[in-house]
Amino acid sequence: MASSTPLLKDELDIVIPTIRNLDFLEQWRPFFQPYHLIIVQDGDPSKVINVPQGFDYELYNRNDINRILGPKASCISFKDSACRCFGYMVSKKKYIFTIDDDCFVAKDPSGKEINALEQHIKNILSPSTPFFFNTLYDPFRQGADFVRGYPFSLREGVPTAVSHGLWLNIPDYDAPTQLVKPLERNTRYVDAVMTIPKGTLFPMCGMNLCFNRELIGPVMYFGLMGDGQPIGRYDDMWAGWCTKVICDHLGLGVKTGLPYIWHSKASNPFVNLKKEYKGIYWQEELIPFFQSATLTKECTTPQQCYIELAKQVKAKLGKVDEYFSKLADAMVTWIEAWDEINSTDSSTAAVANGAKK
Amino acid sequence: MASSTPLLKDELDIVIPTIRNLDFLEQWRPFFQPYHLIIVQDGDPSKVINVPQGFDYELYNRNDINRILGPKASCISFKDSACRCFGYMVSKKKYIFTIDDDCFVAKDPSGKEINALEQHIKNILSPSTPFFFNTLYDPFRQGADFVRGYPFSLREGVPTAVSHGLWLNIPDYDAPTQLVKPLERNTRYVDAVMTIPKGTLFPMCGMNLCFNRELIGPVMYFGLMGDGQPIGRYDDMWAGWCTKVICDHLGLGVKTGLPYIWHSKASNPFVNLKKEYKGIYWQEELIPFFQSATLTKECTTPQQCYIELAKQVKAKLGKVDEYFSKLADAMVTWIEAWDEINSTDSSTAAVANGAKK
């Protein structure tokens, strides 16, 4: 797949949430420069974010988000990397790759720098196999196949909606685990990509994530986190649980494994504990909710699925805490905003383009 | 875990089905010699199988099986490696490791010889996590843990019943894939162990397999294959599908991944095609059957589960082919024989010990 034209060059946007100068892009330049970036600036909108020369980008700060979405901007989180999902909404591309600004280029065991984006694209362009486990991992990789006993009727697989990448160095641990194992580093390079089976939930991390926006963009909502909210650091988890349930319903695949990025620094576990505190006990009720959530056959688009799921969130999780009623409302607002921004109406498109640099 | 006393030395038997001299054991000597071997000789019982000096073993040929089981010997396959399950039945140990005689010691990427048995034991002695996917694979391995978003209530895991190992060099492909890719070799060393999620079936290969005989031994029946049967090479698949359904029901875990063995030679794809032919189309009906199979709450032992499953096989798969009615009867016979051999009655134990060398 090494070609002179970068894969999906005009069909993929890179979404980066940030509060600082994007010096980390220097290391990614050989891999990211051909692509368009959507930068979502969090925090103080008057701060100027410096983007290294030569990158093609558009940047949105809180003022832009408020201007473009009006009252519906309430569904976009502030002072939390959950704000990144605004970038998914205003993209006009088929695929999104999103990465955190503390993630750098990792090396494979041979010492070669890993083009994470290229691996994500390979993952997302090849089918997934959610209905039966293949013991040699992704059967579509070079040198692998379906093993003996894999039903032939399932070998075509299904379209892949999500490619979830991993992290060397600082693992994505919760605050309690960070506190217990402050020195643990992930040094194990596992050379595998696999489909997460149908009916199985997983913890989706937003640090190094690619998805097909056309197939499931509208459900990649990162929820209400950070400023004014009782919770943080569950934005990607929330999106992952919703996305997996809806992918299972729509017959789409979710892959995890390669590519690795180098996660440079552990966030403060004491700060994290405060953000996660309610999530840690709420999730004990959220997981059974998502494990048993089913959608009606009438839900055939991601939007329909998401609205249906929002109703169930309100009805069933509203009892856990009033936060979930608010979140359910925000899920609906998000879909309304998504459809507005992504209508074929050219004036809306013009608004969305207002921030283009 | 490197200790002077080999792990589980008096609690594990190594079961080897064979038709030839066991020269392959020479390479395994440093790892296997401390353990007791149960050799199940297939084919002509008058042939003398040579076992390298220094190994502690008992050997059973067809005459022994017929003598020990009497009419119930009909449930043990002949001229097929499915006969290995007789070894599971006559073992008195808590754990079984089974390996084919064309499997040799593999090397890890650093060139170190892999003690496959030691890795299996590590897998089987640490819990499984079938209810939620951990993106950093087995959380109980050194240097790994549960990632952010993994529910704390699920972190104790469940007992591991099966450890399914993989193969470098010749992958375990079916005949059609062997024919299409005669030169494909598995060279990818994936440094991972993972739990196969609840509700997900997998193709269990009997080449390099360890299990807790106390937890699920009675369901590790390798079916009716080979001589006088319409099918071959589905013995381990059958056992795997039954075992996974029953492990899911009983709340037990199944792991796959490490360790690798070196699989030395591909079997003849034309011969395999003949053996597999009916299995290839039957499996299209078997998979939906196993995917939807549920057991009643009254089934709390592996024996009860297996008898219940045998009834469902007869009722639902008997329609696919009369072979499955015969197989369902054999499943019941197998359990009767298992219980007889494994009763505390000392005379039975004496019979089973009759073949000890």
Query: What's the CATH code of the domain at A92?
Result: 3.90.550
Residue A72 domain-assigned?
A: yes
C-alpha distances in angstroms, B236 versus A300, B225, B303?
39, 10, 18
Residue A356 domain-assigned?
A: no
CB contact under 8 A, A149 and B174: yes
Long-range contacts formed by B50-56: CB under 8 A, 24+ apart: B50/B21, B50/B22, B50/B23, B51/B21, B51/B22, B51/B25, B52/B22, B52/B23, B52/B25, B52/B26, B54/B29, B55/B25, B55/B29
Among A248-252, B91-95, B118-122, B272-276, which is the least confidently predicted range?
B272-276
| Residue A251 Ramachandran class (φ > 0 left, ψ -120 to 50 alpha, else beta) | left
Q: Which amino acid is present at A276?
A: E
Tell me whether strands B253-263 and B103-104 are parallel, antiparallel or unpaired: antiparallel
In chain A, whose CA is at the least distance from the CA of B182? A143
Please report the pLDDT score of residue B17 as a whole number: 98
Residue A194 domain-assigned?
A: yes
CB contact under 8 A, B199 and A202: no
Closest CA to B84 of B196, B231, B226, B256: B226
CB contact under 8 A, B177 and A204: no
Calculate mean pLDDT across residues B96-108: 97
- Residue B192 has its nearest CB partner, among A186, A192, A236, at A192
Letter string b/e over residues A233-264, b meaning 16 or more CB atoms within 10 A of that residue's CB? bbbbbbbbbbbbbbbbbbebbbbbbbbbbbbe
Residue B356 domain-assigned?
A: no
Among A137-146, A164-173, B3-12, B95-104, which is the least confidently predicted range?
B3-12
Tell me whether strands B95-99 and B12-18 are parallel, antiparallel or unpaired: parallel
- Residue B171 has its nearest CB partner, among A132, A147, A172, at A147
CB contact under 8 A, A174 and B240: no
- Condensed to tens digits (0 to 9), the pLDDT of residues B240-294 reads 999 999 999 999 999 999 999 999 988 899 999 999 999 999 999 999 999 999 9
Please report the pLDDT score of residue A26 as a whole number: 98
Q: Tens-digit pLDDT profile for chain A (357 aa)?
A: 445 688 999 999 999 999 999 999 999 999 999 999 999 999 999 999 999 999 999 999 999 999 999 999 999 999 999 999 999 999 999 999 999 999 999 999 999 999 999 999 999 999 999 999 999 999 999 999 999 999 999 999 999 999 999 999 999 999 999 999 999 999 999 999 999 999 999 999 999 999 999 999 999 999 999 999 999 999 999 999 999 999 999 999 999 999 999 999 888 999 999 999 999 999 999 999 999 999 999 999 999 999 999 999 999 999 999 999 999 999 999 999 999 999 975 444 444 444 544
Which positions ≥6 away from A80 have C-beta within 8 Å?
A42, A225, A226, A227, A229, A232, A235
pLDDT of B218 higher than 90: yes
Please report the pLDDT score of residue B5 as a whole number: 83
Residues from chain A that touch B184, judged by Cβ atoms under 8 A, are: 143, 145
CB B73 within 8 A of CB B55: no
CB A249 within 8 A of CB A114: no
Q: Which amino acid is present at A316?
A: K
Calculate mean pLDDT across residues B50-61: 98
In chain A, whose CA is at the least distance from the CA of B167? A136
Residue B295 domain-assigned?
A: yes
Please report the pLDDT score of residue B350 as a whole number: 43
- Average pLDDT of every residue of chain B: 95
Residues from chain B that touch A188, judged by Cβ atoms under 8 A, are: 141, 143-144, 191
Written as six digits, the tokens of B118 are 């030691």
pLDDT of B66 higher than 80: yes
How far B145 CA lies from chain A's nearest CA (Å)?
8
Residues from chain B that touch A287, judged by Cβ atoms under 8 A, are: 132, 151, 154
Which positions ≥6 away from A137 have C-beta within 8 Å?
A144, A192, A193, A194, A257, B190
CB contact under 8 A, B200 and A203: no
Domain count for chain A: 1
Calculate mean pLDDT across residues B4-12: 90
Calculate mean pLDDT across residues B141-157: 97
Among A334-348, B36-50, B97-111, B177-191, which is the least confidently predicted range?
A334-348
Residues from chain A that touch B280, judged by Cβ atoms under 8 A, are: 152
Residue A133 domain-assigned?
A: yes
Chains A and B: how many Cβ contacts under 8 Å? Answer: 175
Residue A5 domain-assigned?
A: no
pTM for the model: 0.95
Q: What is the domain range of residue B117?
A: 12-350
Residue B4 domain-assigned?
A: no
Residues from chain A that touch B153, judged by Cβ atoms under 8 A, are: 284
Residues from chain A that touch B144, judged by Cβ atoms under 8 A, are: 171, 186, 188
CB contact under 8 A, A171 and B145: yes
How far A56 CA lies from chain B's nearest CA (Å)?
33
